[in-house]
Structure formats: structure tokens, C-alpha cells
Amino acid sequence: MKNPEDKSVDERASPPSPYRHFSASAWGRLRDGTPLPLTEEEVVGLRGRGETVSIAEVEQ
């Protein structure tokens, strides 16, 4: 048990960050209930060079 008066940094703790990290499944759960306004043609038009994003991947 850590002494409450010990102000040393726990080296195992990750540094503070303004970003959150999500697994693909956790990210997909966040999208549940949100309509997907993109059609497959729009997804194709938004792809970057050499990028292969499918509508199924977007729906996840």
C-alpha cells in the first residue's frame, strides 16, 4: 500500500494525455444508434490514395 504522503511518481502509470484510446469494438459501440449518412459511393469518393476502406468497415 502506498503511503499517502509519498509524492513520488508511479513509474508504471502512463503519462497524462488529452487523447483516449479505444479498441475497434469499443469504438463501434460508441457509434451504435448514430445514423450512417454515407453511401458506398461517398465512401469510395472519400478514400485516400492507396487506401481501401469499405462501407462495412465504416459501419463498424
Output the pLDDT for position 3. 67
What are 29's three cell numbers? 459501440
Query: Where are the chain's structural domains?
Result: 24-59
Distance, CA of 58 to CA of 5 (rounded, Å): 49
Per-residue pLDDT reduced to its tens digit, 1-60? 566 666 666 667 778 899 999 998 898 888 888 888 888 888 888 877 677 777 777 777
The answer to whether 54 and 43 are in contact (CB under 8 A) is yes
Distance, CA of 59 to CA of 5 (rounded, Å): 49
Output the pLDDT for position 7. 62
Burial of 58 (0-12, 13-18, 19+ CB in 10 A): middle
